[in-house]
Structure 1
């Protein structure tokens, strides 16, 4: 967590949403601290401030527990990007995004960007298990994605996918995520042809190995730059009032009007 006394004003907000135990906090710690923390439960919400070039991006982590569900819309207020996170080994975690969490994004910006992120890919994908290089930087998932696209087909119910080396079954395919992304656009009243394509906004990651984590966050940061620039331009055009100057003028007027 940043030191509030030294914290700079954020230029834009990014929010992580998703059910408990999908790894939202672990993803954030992997990206910000370059570490993996396996068992972390967020109470209410927490945030990090990321310096992205000359810009400051606040990344909000929200609790997935039912008792904190109502806070989600508050954290999403004014968000420029929302990361909808699920567990690739848990079909229900994908369904919960549509059933419980999508409506919370109604308070986000009208042009908010949405990304679908399937975490825990290391449990089902061999490349994700070995993705971290000696320098701690995750490798790109393009080759794995192409390979997966040729092997898996979309299915409306949890698939019976082969077990990975860890013995865990993959219950959510990339096609399932792409289908949900299309429904999100429909819910938001957005045209798929003029919106960001699903193949750019659907990711599979591993907070444990770092697989695709940097690529996911940094893709979003690049995409929210127009929102940052627009906000800064609006702030420059907005009239401001110097309260100290106003007090001094008011004080002089009061003294000059005395008998």
Structure 2
């Protein structure tokens, strides 16, 4: 169990942004609790704390509903990474990222990392039905098969279990291609005034995931955590170069000096 004293102050902040029902909360639960569960729409925001080696990383889950839109810029303030999430079966969810959520990132750090995440890949891609853990090995097969059964109603006749080949006939139409996400990533860099040649490449920062099966979820989080470490180190170096002054100690020292200099 992590030392609670070390978990009190995060070293860096990651923030999820995206429309409602794209699966932001489910992605967090899949990574933090290693399981999928149905969730209700987030109200305002939710906070998770993850210990990554010697570092403490806070992960903020924000509401996608229009009435909570104004809170987004507050949650993004000081963020080291923004995860812009959409639903691969819903084109409008990608459009909303650019039209409604991108401007909220103006309060993030100047060197903030941006990732585009297309969730619900299990609905459109047969290979996303393969559950994987952080080592790239299959997870609990029972959980995977339960997830499939809930998503797809299979024939009642005594046929073999669904395979990726047979599942292909039951997959939904994919409305957002990877090329669409890559194009949006380029526009995000231009909006932020970043040089595409010196920035992280789109093929590294555009992900397709499934919170239901765990597909690419560990890859997403661990990639971002690794990329955030340099920001943590820079922050610590800046704090060492410019140490914070304790006002209470300063007042005590100032008061003693004032008394001793009195005639």
Global fold match (TM > 0.5): yes
Moved more, 63-72 or 38-47: 38-47
Whether the 8 Å contact between 1:26 and 1:40 is mirrored in structure 2 is no
Give 1:67's aligned residue.
Answer: 67
> For residues 249 and 171 of structure 2, what CA distance do their matches in structure 1 show?
69
Distance change in 2, residues 1:42/1:6 (3 Å): farther
Report how many aligned residue pairs link the two structures. 233
Distance change in 2, residues 1:5/1:21 (3 Å): farther
Q: Superposed, which structure 2 residues align to 1:138-157 within 5 Å?
A: none
Distance change in 2, residues 1:192/1:247 (3 Å): closer
Give 2:127's aligned residue.
Answer: 127
Give 2:164's aligned residue.
Answer: none
Whether the 8 Å contact between 2:18 and 2:93 is mirrored in structure 1 is yes
TM-score for the superposition, normalised by structure 2: 0.81
Give 1:104's aligned residue.
Answer: 104
> For residues 61 and 165 of structure 1, what CA distance do their matches in structure 2 show?
34
> For residues 112 and 103 of structure 2, what CA distance do their matches in structure 1 show?
13
- Residue by residue, what CA displacement relative to the aligned partner does 1:150-194 show, whole Å, maximum 9, x if unpaired? xxxxxxxxxxxxx94434211001011001111111111111111
Give 1:30's aligned residue.
Answer: 30
Distance change in 2, residues 1:111/1:256 (3 Å): closer
Whether the 8 Å contact between 2:131 and 2:140 is mirrored in structure 1 is no
Give 1:175's aligned residue.
Answer: 179
Distance change in 2, residues 1:244/1:191 (3 Å): closer
Give 2:227's aligned residue.
Answer: 223
> For residues 197 and 140 of structure 2, what CA distance do their matches in structure 1 show?
37
Distance change in 2, residues 1:252/1:30 (3 Å): same
Give 1:205's aligned residue.
Answer: 209
Moved more, 106-115 or 231-240: 231-240
> For residues 87 and 216 of structure 1, what CA distance do their matches in structure 2 show?
15
Whether the 8 Å contact between 1:14 and 1:83 is mirrored in structure 2 is yes
Give 1:88's aligned residue.
Answer: 88
Give 1:57's aligned residue.
Answer: 57
Moved more, 91-100 or 40-49: 40-49
- Residue by residue, what CA displacement relative to the aligned partner does 1:36-79 show, whole Å, maximum 9, x if unpaired? 12232111011111101111110000000000001000000111
> For residues 106 and 220 of structure 1, what CA distance do their matches in structure 2 show?
19
Q: Report the secondary structure of 2:170's partner residue.
A: coil
Give 1:191's aligned residue.
Answer: 195
- Residue by residue, what CA displacement relative to the aligned partner does 1:201-244 show, whole Å, maximum 9, x if unpaired? 00000000000000011101111111100111111122333445
Give 2:13's aligned residue.
Answer: 13
TM-score for the superposition, normalised by structure 1: 0.82
Give 2:115's aligned residue.
Answer: 115
Could you list the runs of 5+ residues in structure 2 that have no partner in the other structure?
142-166
Whether the 8 Å contact between 1:124 and 1:165 is mirrored in structure 2 is no
Whether the 8 Å contact between 1:136 and 1:210 is mirrored in structure 2 is no
Q: Report the secondary structure of 2:47's partner residue.
A: strand
